[in-house]
Structure 1
Amino acid sequence: MGHSAAVWDYKAATEITKDWNGIDKVVLRNPGGASARVSLHGGQVTSWRNEQGEELLFTSSKAIFKPPKAVRGGIPICFPQFGYCGSLEQHGFARNKIWTIDENPPPLSPSDSHGKSFIDLLLKPSEEDLKCWPHSEVRIEGLETLDYLDNICQKERFTEQGDAITFEAEVDRVYLSTPNVVAVLDHERKRTYVIRKEGLPDVVVWNPWEKKSKSLVDFGDDEYKQMLCVDGAAIEKPVTLKPGEEWTGRQELSVVPSTFCSEHLDLQSNGF
């Protein structure tokens, strides 16, 4: 008669201690002796050692384990932006906040309960965080799935992933090979600006957001909340004319109730 394997108690292999500066950290271990350390400062993994005790992650010997300075090294959580591609501090605010341990985590699946250790952390944004990361009441439809050049990220080329474009940070983009009809939906005022264009294959989308607004001498600090630049353009392929050739660029703006727009406007239409 064989012996049944002992049930692995992952909670018993989870230890909560404090860093030298008094911030909680969680030490996770597995049956083989491998371990990981997760700091509640930023929810950041600061150490991962194999069964031989060798450190597998780099964390600087001069790392500052104290808010508001993020820990240099390990595995940081960059949210809601990476680098300076947004209006917030570098890599966003999540890596500089104190996270909490989820007292009621979702249940583990049976396949995950054998020889593994877990900790579930939560980040509860403060009211100040939410002010820095507001949700917009304006969205653009007609540019989904298209490629764009991001002027904030050295004109790097990306593909739009959203069902529509919304605004939660600085945006400075050139959308390429766009349809001739684009809509800007203003949910608060229940109206839609319809942009019909001809001879202008690209679309510029710009909003300076909070940080950039304050650096513009001819722009009010809070005016980013009241405006959005959406413009037909010819940027990727400049227009060149030989002697005698003509070029026509045309853009028409109209405003319709949002309910009418959603029911009757065909955004894929290429005509006027």
Structure 2
Amino acid sequence: MMTSSTSEKPLVELTKGVNGLEKVILREVRGSSAEVYLYGGQVTSWKNDLREELLFVSSKAIFKPPKAIRGGIPICFPQFANRGPLESHGFARNRFWSIDKDPPPFPASTSSRAFVDLILKPFEFRLRVALSPAGDLMLTSRIRNTSTDGKPFAFTFAYHTYFSVSDISEVRVEGLETLDYLENKERFTEQGDAITFESEVDKIYLSTPTKIAILDHEKKRTFVIRKDGLPDAVVWNPWDKRAKAIADFGDEEYKHMLCVEAAAVEKPITLKPGEEWRGRQELSAVPSSYCSGQLDPKRVLLGS
């Protein structure tokens, strides 16, 4: 981890969070920040340079093991949902991670100095969380099969990102139209020109593009998800009935959150001994523009 001698606060700070759980705070000089709990290796806050919170964490979230933290960016590994023999969404989100003191080199694809490297053992699962000078949030996962028994290792994966939105009924998702998706294990094709929300949604979109946009009409804000190594995308909002059935989720909180998750779900990733997989997502939040009474995402999706 690195600190800055020019700013008042360090770029990277290890401190205590809720219930005394350790967390790392990342800061950039323009004012953006992120918080990462060692419990779950979980990002629980991402703020822009106006100090506006961009992620959703439930007011009823339980920051106490073994319960996973409801909100932020839980990591689903080595199993997404109930697609396997393990507990739902696997165990990475309710294990304690360590700060990786000696990580192997990461590709120098960012000028960020505000980052932390975590590792989950006994697996060799390395996670880098970085904040760019512009305030973009980057998560890079590297998973290596270190087994000595010669057996391959298969897993599914998702960055279960909870975005904070003004009003779910005013939100649309662009970039997944015309794609096939799985819902209740059945396969369908998306018909709409964008995804909008008026009831519970729980879909796994397949063979998705590397860029997806979430347009928040009321806040005039667009989230852009860029992803690599993660072919699928999960879209989830529990709506009212399901929200009431979730103990660590407020009855009305579904109105102010949306999960759009970079994932590898349909086809498990299989690593032979010694092989490494890398999955990355980069999140940015940009002002939306109006065009003919509609938000204009095309510029965002076609842009850099």
Q: TM-score range by the shorter chain?
A: 0.3 to 0.5
**TM-score normalised per structure 2:** 0.42
Which structure's relative contact order is higher, taking Cα pairs within 8 Å and 6+ residues apart?
A: 2
Looking at CA atoms only, which structure, 1 or 2, has the larger radius of gyration? 1
Q: Which structure dedicates a bigger proportion of its chain to strand?
A: 2
